[in-house]
Structure 1
């Protein structure tokens, strides 16, 4: 369980930073991080950080796919973690 928590913390930091980096690149008119990559980071456990970065940097907040997709990913990940936690302690 500690590994899972550490994994999520690391990917949340990556998600937060990637939102900030992509926002800065957008402002400078440079090459951007693909949306597919931003979603992949969220799916790999970085959804809390990605959501925080989205609102902190005010980036991708107008995109419905991010505004609703990232919270949906977070809820699904939370359900999975609770299921694994319950499975571990009831078996």
Structure 2
């Protein structure tokens, strides 16, 4: 039997969910700041790499769940989100439909997003002040 990691439910087309909207806004602002050299490129690379790794972790966990195999712990998924992987986590939840209905997981994930953004803002203000001209 050929099992896919994507849900068998039809995708909700043309639906901009809050998760996707927030991720797109973050990417746009972050990309603009990288382009203007307000942030170092390594920071953009860190978010990109961690988001990719987090998305892959969600995909592997979904596949393991479908096959009844060993799963990635929720703590590990949340830690990856906290460590700059939250854009990948939000996209994976939407596109893979994995961990999207568990309320406790969702609350902790949004807390990780807020903590990461607070840390990013603190780092930017402290080490990369943006000129207001």
TM-score (norm 1): 0.86
Contact 1:51 1:71 in 2 (8 A): no
Match status 1:44 vs 2:83: yes
Unaligned runs of 5+ in 2: 1-39
1:59 corresponds in structure 2 to 98
1:14 aligns with 2:74: no
- The 4+ residue runs of structure 1 with deviation greater than 2 A are none
Which structure has the larger Rg over C-alpha atoms? 2
Match of 2:113 among 68, 74, 78: 74
CA RMSD of aligned residues (A): 1.5
Specify every segment of 5 or more residues in structure 1 that has no aligned partner in the other structure, as ranges.
Answer: none
Structure 1 residue 73: deviation in Å? Answer: 1.1
Aligned partner of 1:23 in structure 2 is: 62
TM-score, structure 2 as length reference? 0.61
Aligned residues between the structures: 90
Q: Which has the higher helix share?
A: 1
